[in-house]
Copies of this chain bind each other. A is one copy, B any other.
Amino acid sequence: MRMSRMYLPTLRQKPAESELPSHQLLLRAGMIRKLVSGVYSYLPLGYRVLRKIEKIVREEMDFAGGQEVLMSAIQPKELWEDSGRWEAFGPEMFRLKDRNEREFCLGPTHEEIFTELIRSELKSYKQLPLNLYQIQTKYRDERRPRFGLIRAREFLMKDAYSFDMDEAAMKISYKEMWRAYEKIFNRCNLNYRVVEGDAGAMGDSDSHEFMAMCDNGESTVVYCPSCDYSATDEKAICSYEIKNSAEGQTVKQKIFTPDIKTIEALKEFFDVDGSSFVKTLLFEVKGSVVAVCIPGDRELNVTKLMNLLKVPEHEIEMASPQIVEKVTGAEVGFAGPINLKQDVKLYVDARITKMTNFIVGANETNYHIKNVNYGTDFEGYIVDDLLVVQEGDLCPRCSDGINLAKGIEVGNIFQLATKYSEGLKASFLDENGREQFFWMGSYGIGVSRTLAAVVEQNYDEIGIKWPLAIAPYHVIITIINPSKEDQLQLAEGLYTDLKSKGIEVLLDDRKGSPGVKLTDADLIGIPIRIVVGKDAPKGEVELKYRHQDSRRVMPVEEAMEEVIDYVRCQLS
């Protein structure tokens, strides 16, 4: 492709709205453009990368026995009611009506639709296992679209669904997809970790997430350097040593704490650290009030609370000051577990049962109570773990210290078991002629997000450094001065020869400053650069790899040979 003809609007300046290097560089390199918040267009160069990732995904899915299909984005409400997710998805689902007022959504995912597809036609165990997948546009009306392609509202996804006859077979399908994902992300040159995930909207199930590791990731990964434990922070089991568990219990005592409402202020007032307190958090959930007690120095893990209460995030709200006053009889800042109004359900993180003589709010304005003990002074529903993991915590498996790191979730795999087949009544006849629900799995890859994640891991201060496997072109030939016949001829010949060998070449034949052209080449990140300039009369060119600093001047034939070998070797 000739750059003089290509629509490639590179930008010199960092675009104002870009938050991450990948977002900024994809905009600057003329690869994507924003239409509205969370909605992007792919320009020619960016679309080539997207299609290369698609191709890798397709090849590995086919190799793993997947069969490609294409389902609609428009999905009828009824199917989502059958699975119970029409309400559960909440405002994240784009909804619309047709001209007959029939209700639809734009699919945020396709479990229902794939189950519907097979439920009336896949009838025998002999047709199992089955793995169907598609590469298709998905829609999620994110509360806060951001980071360019990483959290978009319209995005490209590969989603696959497996149907099996029993749990053991489902686990085999799951493992096969796991392996396919490893191959896909390896081919994209991603540095990733596979971690235990929380199934979220997919329902109760075993799941794993593929996390592209990078400092700017939205997700937090918890991993143990000593054993193979790793999980998202939503899922990770919190384990740590409780400091004040050894003291003997004393008798509780009400303390006047005028206007002292926060843990920070309380620490100062009592001159103790956060672990001496128990926080009582109040939430409104579907019209009821729920109280949650956790150690004063820890954070509540909302995902764990969601799973406990079996409600989606948008149905859990912090209680309003009015509600707080109503159920505690006190202003905000003095809530505690003792003498809450009867209809408030109280959940207690299990660690609190091991703490002694802690301080809680008194449910009376300007008062706290000290020397409180679980069992003696109050009781609630004990919950194993409601806490966010933090630096310094212990591995729940081997008790060594855990590490925290940031990542971008590029893939996820779920064991759905029979949740959707039961909900949508999709069954088959087993070898004994008995009706059984399908055991399902679902498997997603954020194709457009993967593109951004690759950039997030492969850039420097001057631009993107595409891995060869998904680079928009393998080679860029920059002509320093295309009005000089010898440069033009040498470059055109090289362009034609390389193309004839299957190498993808971008020819920068634009007039204008060599500086601009070299800057663009670095910015758009083509892995191999050949500059044709002053040495053209000698038949020499300059060869440089984007990931290396060194430049070498050499005869054009030598450069060509090296490039062909390099590309073939990298792609084989």
Contact = CB atoms under 8 A, between A and B. Distances in A.
Interface stretch (A71-79, A235-243, A370-378): A71-79
Contact of A5 (B50, B65, B68, B121): B65
B7 A72 contact: no
A43 interface: yes
Interface string A99-138: 1001010100000010011100110000100101000010
B9 A98 contact: no
Interface in A251-292: none
Contacts of A70: 41-42, 47, 50
A137 B73 contact: yes
Q: Can you tell how many copies of this chain the complex includes?
A: 2
A203 interface: no
Nearest to A6: B67
A153 interface: yes
Contact of A42 (B35, B69, B98): B69
Interface of A: 5-7, 9, 33, 35-36, 39-44, 47-48, 50, 65, 67-76, 91, 94-96, 98-99, 102, 104, 106, 113, 116-118, 121-122, 127, 130, 132, 137, 139, 141, 143, 153-154
Given A44-B69, A154-B74, A122 B35 contact: no
Given A35-B116, A36-B76, A43-B69, 11 more contacts: A7-B67, A7-B118, A7-B130, A9-B122, A35-B72, A35-B76, A36-B102, A44-B132, A47-B68, A94-B96, A94-B98
Contact of A47 (B69, B73, B104): B69
Contacts of A68: 44, 47-48
Contacts of A5: 65
6 contacts: A7-B130, A33-B117, A41-B71, A41-B117, A72-B154, A74-B154
A122 B5 CA distance: 12
B7 A154 contact: no
A72 B34 CA distance: 10
Q: Which of A5, A9, A98, A141 has the most CB of B within 10 A?
A: A98
Contacts of A143: 99
Contacts of A98: 94, 141, 153
